[in-house]
Every structure is written in C-alpha cells, then in structure tokens.
Amino acid sequence: MSDFRRLGDRMLVSPQISLADVTEAKRLGVTTIVNNRPDGESPDQVPGADISRVASENGLAYVAIPVSHAGFSLPQVEAMAEAIGGSEGAVLAYCRSGTRSTFLWALAQAKAGIDPDEISTSAMAAGYDVTPIRPTIDMLAAGEAG
C-alpha cells in the first residue's frame, strides 16, 4: 500500500515501495523513481532490479542512488539533484522509511540555494525531521561545500 508523502509539487518520498506502487506513482504524475536503498539491506525488500523493470515497463525512469547508514556524500547529493532536475514530471524517492530519501532531497535542495527553513518546513509537513542534518543543510545553502 502506497505511503507517498509530498515534499513539494514535484517531489514525493516513501518508505520501501512495492511493484504495485510503481503503477500508483505513475498515476500521480511521477516520471522518475529514485531508489536510495542499497540492495540486500533487508531480506523483505523488493530488489531494485525488480522496481527498475516495472518502472521501465510503465515508461518511468529509474535511478539508483543507494545511501547506507554510513551517511551522505557530495556525489550522492549531486546525483539526487540531477535526478530531480532531469525529470520531466514528479519524482518519487524511496528507502526503508523515507528518511534517507528526505535527507538526500533536503541536501540537494540546499545545494541549489533553497532556504533551509523552507526545506525544513516542507520535510516536517511530510512527517520527516531534518534537524539531524540541519548544519549540513545550512552549509550547503550558504555555498560552503566544495
């Protein structure tokens, strides 16, 4: 069952999605699915290759930007920004709970110069708290990253 949460007009996040969720995402205007979950993280997760196949069958782009619990890197932030910016429609990003996807979105938004308070408010409205990464959001928004 879909648990898509809207971060903005063109951005949704979700805990782990099912194959049926791909069709629901398409119905909602999603044109790109971003997988932020490493394969094999949990025995009950749907493999990324299966999500990719069903996304392709539905005419959706699929991008894998796996984020482990070790944290985020600038290349991951840039890849997320590219996936969002390159999508013709809405983007659905998912991980185990949606938190890593939200954090990666928040970092990409900050790097693009979006106001950190606006990012935080959008995340909170979707049920996610970006406080743990707020110093990094502030740094990226200020253009202090390499």
* 2-57 per-position pLDDT tens digit: 899 999 999 999 999 999 999 999 999 999 999 999 999 999 899 999 999 999 99
The pLDDT of 70-82, averaged and rounded, is: 94
Residue ranges covered by each domain of the chain: 5-141
SS3 94: strand
| β partners of residue 11 | 8, 91
Provide CB contacts within 8 A for 75, sequence distance 6+: none
pLDDT at residue number 2: 82
* The pLDDT of residue 1 is above 80: no
Average predicted confidence (pLDDT) for the chain: 95
Q: Where does residue 53 rank: exposed (0-12), middle (13-18), buried (19+ CB within 10 A)? A: middle
User: What is the crossing angle of helices 19-27 and 48-57, to 10°?
Assistant: 40
Q: pTM for this structure?
A: 0.95
pLDDT at residue number 70: 84
Going by the DSSP 8-state scheme, the letter that residue 114 receives in this structure is -
Provide CB contacts within 8 A for 113, sequence distance 6+: 141, 143
CB atoms within 10 A of CB 121: 12
The answer to whether the CB of 122 falls within 8 A of the CB of 96 is no
CATH node for 5-141: 3.90.190.10
Going by the DSSP 8-state scheme, the letter that residue 132 receives in this structure is G
